């Protein structure tokens, strides 16, 4: 029997590890008629969907979009209007650089029922996986997240420099292609060249890599290691905590293996 009306759940899939999916997100996926999912969603998560559920890829890579944002929003409206329960599945959290707000507004303006299910955003998930706390007593009492994946690159760099003056820890999403400009802007704005920096590539996945360096050597290590997006850049004294934790972990190998 056809449903009288459909609705949309805008769902955060978390930072990569399927086990970091929330229970509420899981229940949405299990019930969905249609799942529209992004590039950074771990495809293992799609295995929780019903066999008959329709899976539609609408991810975006730099310069390569499976669908425009306008087309994604129109399809959400069309499917829900036809009576389907649609899950819009996004990596991380829908409201943190996920354009979830735009989609919610598009649905609301058309009178489509919707809900937003938060997810673990990459800054939190990848930071934890890499043993880097974004705040730490005595080192950092504030942090900010910013994306460098934007058309207004110059504006983004200026904002990065200004934020660096105001917060203790700076987390930059999708900044790999702009590392040279980011490094220069931070130094111009007064950030010390020996400031600790970590690059977390493919955080919370089996392909995760963590490189620790300084602001001075940031561009060089990115080239040598051939860093690619998706990657996070974490800048601040909290990066030092990772090395301390790794050293202490060596003293407790058996116990840590049990936890893992």
Query: Which of the following is catalytic: 33, 168, 174, 191?
Result: 174
Query: Which of the following is catalytic: 17, 33, 38, 168?
Result: 38
Query: Any catalytic annotation for residue 38?
Result: yes
- Cα dihedral 26, 31, 34, 40 in deg (nearest 10): 0
Six-digit token pair at 195? 């400031």
Query: Which of the following is catalytic: 60, 67, 75, 78?
Result: 60
Task: Tally Cβ neighbours within 10 Å of residue 53.
Answer: 18
Note whether 90 and 38 are within 8 A (CB). Answer: yes
Instruction: Annotate 116-169 with DSSP letters as a single string.
Output: EE----HHHHHHHHTT--S-BTTTBS-EEEEE--SS-HHHHHHHHHHHHHH-SE
Note whether 144 and 38 are within 8 A (CB). Answer: no
Note whether 100 and 69 are within 8 A (CB). Answer: no
For the annotated catalytic residues, the residue numbers are 38, 60, 174
């Amino acid at each position: 029997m056809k449903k009288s009306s459909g609705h949309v759940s805008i769902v955060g899939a978390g930072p990569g590890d399927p086990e970091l999916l929330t229970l509420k997100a899981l229940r949405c996926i299990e019930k969905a008629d249609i799942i529209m999912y992004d590039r950074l969603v771990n495809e293992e998560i799609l295995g929780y969907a019903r066999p008959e559920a329709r899976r539609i890829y609408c991810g975006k890579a730099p310069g390569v979009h499976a669908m425009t944002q306008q087309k994604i929003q129109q399809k959400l409206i069309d499917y829900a209007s036809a009576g389907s329960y649609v899950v819009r599945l996004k990596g991380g959290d829908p409201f943190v650089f996920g354009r979830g707000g735009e989609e919610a507004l598009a649905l609301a303006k058309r009178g489509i029922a919707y809900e937003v299910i938060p997810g673990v955003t990459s800054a939190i998930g990848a930071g934890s996986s890499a043993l880097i706390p974004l705040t730490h007593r005595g080192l950092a009492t504030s942090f900010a997240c910013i994306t460098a994946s934007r058309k207004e690159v110059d504006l983004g760099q200026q904002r990065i420099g200004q934020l660096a003056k105001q917060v203790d820890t700076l987390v930059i999403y999708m900044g790999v292609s702009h590392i040279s400009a980011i490094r220069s802007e931070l130094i111009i704005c007064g950030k010390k060249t020996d400031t600790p920096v970590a690059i977390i590539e493919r955080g919370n996945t089996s392909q995760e890599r963590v490189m620790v360096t300084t602001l001075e050597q940031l561009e060089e290590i990115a080239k040598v290691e051939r860093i690619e997006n998706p990657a996070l850049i974490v800048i601040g004294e909290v990066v030092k905590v990772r090395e301390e934790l790794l050293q202490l972990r060596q003293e407790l190998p058996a116990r840590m293996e049990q936890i893992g």
